[in-house]
């Protein structure tokens, strides 16, 4: 899809990957609706983008961890810019460790934001997209959705579910004109990655340091723009993830043994 003149929504756009995606889409000529629970970040971003091209950016304060939050966001965006051409379900949360100690509320929040948000958005976008034979659904999962996130069962399980949901959409609605892409990065230099250094973040700094090459959000956005113009399903800003994924598929037991060794090395560094 060529984004010039298109109506796009990016969730989790107060900073990090979401803010970089919105800025890049805007530079490519798109109208952008930037949504987040953090009002200040999206208000500042939309004001900056709108100044360079008046009438092209809107900030919406939205909690996409509820169905009502998704409905309100989509309705406000439609009222401003007409039907949505591309929806980027990018908001995500970390947190949680193992199944023994992780509080129920952390599991529920992870599923709401990292998985249910995607299906709630799809539920309210698809009827219109199927009627007009066009629409583009993108989501940010993670390399953890193809591989694993050492130290966090909720992040691993929800990101796998996000990849699976995106795949299902692509299979089911691809012939009806709905395009789907799923972004699966490793380390990106954002508040979420940096929060790994805080003791209550659920992902220790040792795990963060094992996240491979850490990319800047703007570099990720560049890769995403190219993948959207090529309408490619899997977006891998860290190309080595494809190699890891192929090795996992080729020999799952060997891959799990390798991950155990990595886990032990991380534990030794703590």
Ligand X SMILES: NC(=O)c1ccc[n+]([C@@H]2O[C@H](COP(=O)([O-])OP(=O)(O)OC[C@H]3O[C@@H](n4cnc5c(N)ncnc54)[C@H](O)[C@@H]3O)[C@@H](O)[C@H]2O)c1
The catalytic site residues sit at 155
Closer CB to ligand X, 135 or 217, in the complex: 217
Under 8 Å between Cβ of 22 and 10: yes
**Cα–Cα distances in angstroms (integers) from residue 205 to residues 89, 126, 212, 262, in the given order:** 26, 40, 13, 14
Closer CB to ligand X, 1 or 193, in the complex: 193
Which stretch, 8-16, 46-54, 79-87, 163-171, contacts ligand X (CB under 6 A)? 8-16
**Cα–Cα distances in angstroms (integers) from residue 63 to residues 39, 66, 81, 112, 246, in the given order:** 10, 6, 20, 10, 36
Report if residue 23 touches ligand X, rule: CB under 6 A: no
DSSP codes joined into one string, 51-69: HHSTTSEEEEE--TTSHHH
Tokens of 145: 């959705």
Report if residue 192 touches ligand X, rule: CB under 6 A: yes
How many Cβ atoms are within 10 Å of 206's Cβ, its own excluded?
16
Which stretch, 90-98, 229-237, 248-256, 259-267, contacts ligand X (CB under 6 A)? 90-98
Contact mark string toward ligand X, 110..139, x via CB under 6 A: ---x--------------------------
Under 8 Å between Cβ of 18 and 90: yes
How many Cβ atoms are within 10 Å of 52's Cβ, its own excluded?
10
Tokens of 164: 């699976």
Q: Which residues contact 52 (CB under 8 A, 6 or more apart)?
A: 26
| Total interface residues for ligand X by CB under 6 A | 28
Tokens of 93: 């949360």
Using the rule CB under 6 A, which residue among 3, 10, 14, 28 binds ligand X?
A: 14
Using the rule CB under 6 A, which residue among 44, 50, 63, 222 binds ligand X?
A: 63
Report if residue 158 touches ligand X, rule: CB under 6 A: no
Which stretch, 21-29, 87-95, 227-235, 238-246, contacts ligand X (CB under 6 A)? 87-95
Report if residue 149 touches ligand X, rule: CB under 6 A: no
Which stretch, 13-21, 77-85, 122-130, 230-238, contacts ligand X (CB under 6 A)? 13-21
Report if residue 65 touches ligand X, rule: CB under 6 A: yes
Report if residue 93 touches ligand X, rule: CB under 6 A: yes
Taking the C-alpha atoms of residue 264 and residue 169, their distance in angstroms, rounded to an integer, is 37
Q: Report, in Å, the least distance between residue 224 CB and ligand X.
A: 11
Residues making contact with ligand X (CB under 6 A): 11-12, 14-18, 36-38, 62-65, 90-93, 113, 140, 142, 185, 187-188, 190-193
């Amino acid at each position: 899809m060529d984004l010039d003149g298109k109506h796009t929504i990016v969730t989790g756009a107060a900073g990090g990957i979401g803010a970089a995606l919105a800025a890049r889409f805007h530079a490519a000529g798109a109208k952008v609706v930037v949504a987040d629970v953090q009002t200040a970040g999206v208000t500042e971003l939309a004001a900056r983008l709108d100044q360079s091209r008046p009438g092209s950016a809107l900030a919406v304060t939205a909690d996409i961890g509820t169905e009502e939050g998704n409905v309100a966001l989509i309705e406000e965006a439609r009222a401003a810019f007409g039907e949505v051409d591309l929806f980027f379900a990018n908001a995500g949360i970390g947190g949680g460790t193992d199944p023994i100690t992780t509080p129920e509320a952390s599991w529920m929040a992870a599923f709401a934001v990292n998985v249910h948000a995607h299906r709630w958005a799809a539920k309210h976008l698809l009827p219109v997209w199927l009627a007009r034979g066009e629409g583009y659904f993108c989501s940010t999962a993670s390399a953890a959705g193809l591989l694993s996130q050492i130290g966090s069962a909720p992040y691993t399980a929800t990101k796998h579910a996000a990849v699976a949901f995106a795949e299902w959409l692509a299979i089911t609605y691809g012939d009806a004109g709905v395009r789907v892409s799923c972004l699966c990065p490793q380390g990106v230099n954002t508040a979420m990655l940096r929060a790994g250094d805080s003791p209550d973040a659920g992902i220790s700094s040792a795990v963060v340091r094992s996240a491979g090459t850490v990319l800047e959000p703007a570099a990720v956005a560049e890769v995403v723009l190219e993948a959207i113009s090529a309408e490619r399903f899997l977006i891998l800003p860290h190309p080595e993830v494809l190699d890891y994924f192929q090795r996992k598929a080729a020999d799952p037991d060997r891959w799990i043994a390798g991950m155990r060794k990595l886990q032990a090395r991380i534990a030794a560094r703590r």
